[in-house]
Amino acid sequence: MTIPTLFQKIHKIISQIPKGKVATYGHIAVLAGNPRAARTVGWVLNSSKSDELPWHRVINAQGRSSFPDRNKRMLQQSMLEAEGIIFNNEKVDLDIFLWNGNNLHLS
């Protein structure tokens, strides 16, 4: 049996975020077993191909996009809105749309 690396765990978690839900960098790190690895989540997203993972479903702890570029923020928002996620002032209500890790499979 092979033990997955943190990078592999994060990749697998992001790939399982369902449509209509979001996860924060920190929440993904917690699900991966390393609560201090929120920046590593960003590295995983940055190093993967854009169509490989549902990158648009990962947002910051305030419910906002972390992209400094407005065009990327608006792209992410439009992709999430197409999945039924509602924004209020460019912010997602995490009480409603945060994925809690239901049905997560890391093995």
pLDDT of residue 96: 97
Show the tokens assigned to 29: 């790190």
3-state secondary structure of 44: helix
Domains of the chain, start order: 6-97 (1.10.10.10)
- pLDDT tens sequence for the chain (107 residues): 566 799 999 999 999 999 999 999 999 999 999 999 999 999 999 888 767 899 999 999 999 999 999 999 999 999 999 999 999 999 999 999 999 998 898 87
pLDDT of residue 4: 77
pLDDT of residue 106: 85
Residue 52, CB half-sphere, CA atoms under 13 Å: how many? 10
6-15 and 38-47 helices, crossing angle to 10°: 70
